[in-house]
Amino acid sequence: MDPPSYAEAACTALGDAMAQDGRIVVLGEDVGRGGIFGQYRGLQARFGSDRVIDTPISEATIMGAGVGMALAGLKPVVEMRVVDFALCAMDEIANQAAKNRFMFGGQGRVPLVARLPMGIWSASAAQHSQSLEAWFAHLPGVVVVAPATAQDNHDLLLAALDCGDPVIYLEHKELWSQRDAAPPGPPLRLGQARVCRPGSDLTLVSWSRQLHWAAEAAQTLAERGVQAELIDLATIWPWDRDTVLNSAARTGRLLVTHEAVQAAGFGAEIVATAAEHTGCKVKRAGAPRIPVGYAPTLEEVSRVRPAAIVAAALELLR
């Protein structure tokens, strides 16, 4: 039997968690039909429309209601369809979910998992293609997760449901149908990175869909005699500094590549921290600061392909 896809793995995790914990509810647009990517398939039939709640197209209230549910004792999973739509709910994310526990002096908590499918996918153009993990990483109070494999999407979704904090959970739209060719390794905890491939010449950090291109780049580099240590960050905040900094200190070179716009991207935070703590040489490979275009020729400009990662690595090694 095929291993589960990235969407199926998350669906299994959520179904198992809902079966065990009656406080978990799902709300969002089209979740009763399984979600637009099939990531909720079968859950409404199994748990009923009171727990898998089809909502109006009201992003602010989908997220705000999630906050209210959490304050009243539930553990909501809030579906936003695509991360771009979560921008209609930014007050509810940034001012309410992220801050309520602190500003009320710990009287309430917001154990909420907001699923925000991200990334370039299928000519979706400027408003359905963004990678905004850095926006959320900048917000005190939230956890930010971006799994790259089906197994991690299973394990990290369970961890997110279990952590008691508001979690910004970013699944990449290009990955929904992907199945792991081989198990990526032991289950990850939140805040734990994975060394996917050991190496001694440079450290290569990535996450989400971009990790797979980074892996291709690492393979190409190896064929040229360069051993890159590839790290899947998986959790953007709190990110696994020990794993990244230890590797960077050993290799002396750190390249971070992400699909998001490079300027003020999360790669900047990682390389700045590594430079401060290890003095290593650093480089970033992110997208140009342009909206993602519709035509293939335009969309391509926003992609950071393996060849570009290889070129950046070779530059860093010069």
Partner 1 sequence: MHAPSLRDRLAALLRTMLRIRAFEDAAELASQGGVAAFGQTAGSGAAVRGPLHLSTGQEAVAAGVCHGLRREDLLTSTHRGHGHTLAKGADTRRMMAELYGRAAGSNGGKGGSMHIADFSVGMLGANGVVAAGLPIAVGAAQALKLQRKDAIVACFFGDGAINRGPFLEALNWAAAYALPVLFVCEDNRWSAMTATGPLTAGAGAAARAQALGIEALTADGNDVEAVNDAATEAIAAVRAGRGPRLLHSVTYRIKGHVSVDPATYRDAGEVAHAREDDPIERAARRFVELGGSAAELAAMRAGADEEIATAVRFAEAAAWPEAAAAYTDVQSTGAGRWF
Residues annotated as part of the active site: 128
Q: Does 61 bind partner 1 (CB under 8 A)?
A: yes
Q: How far is CA 212 from the centre of its chain?
A: 14
Contact 119, 208 (CB under 8 A): yes
The β-bridge partners of 282 are: 254
Cβ–Cβ under 8 Å, residues 30 and 56: no
For the segment 210-249, give every residue that binds partner 1 (CB under 8 A): 237-238, 241
Which of 2, 107, 181, 318 binds partner 1 (CB under 8 A)? It is 107
Query: Which residues within the stretch 259-318 sit at the binding site for partner 1 (CB under 8 A)?
Result: none
**105 near partner 1, rule: CB under 8 A:** yes
- To partner 1, the closest distance from the beta carbon of 50 in angstroms equals 6
Q: How far is the CB of 123 from partner 1 (least distance, A)?
A: 30
Tokens standing for 306?
A: 């393996």
Distance CA 315, CA 46 (A): 53
Structure tokens at 181: 């060719």
Size of the site for partner 1 (CB under 8 A): 49
With CB under 8 A as the contact rule, the residue among 9, 18, 142, 228 that binds partner 1 is 142
Gyration radius of the chain over CA positions = 19
Residues pairing with 75 in the sheet: 24
Q: Least separation, in Å, of the C-beta of 220 and partner 1?
A: 34
Decide if residue 19 touches partner 1 (CB under 8 A): no
For 140, counting Cβ atoms within 10 Å of its Cβ (0-12 exposed, 13-18 middle, 19+ buried), the class is exposed
Nearest approach in angstroms of CB 287 to partner 1 is: 26
Identify any residues that bridge with 114 across adjacent strands, giving them in sequence order. Answer: 78, 168
Interface residues with partner 1 (CB under 8 A)? 25, 50-51, 53, 55-56, 58, 60-61, 63-74, 76, 91-92, 95-96, 100-108, 140-143, 163-167, 190-191, 237-238, 241
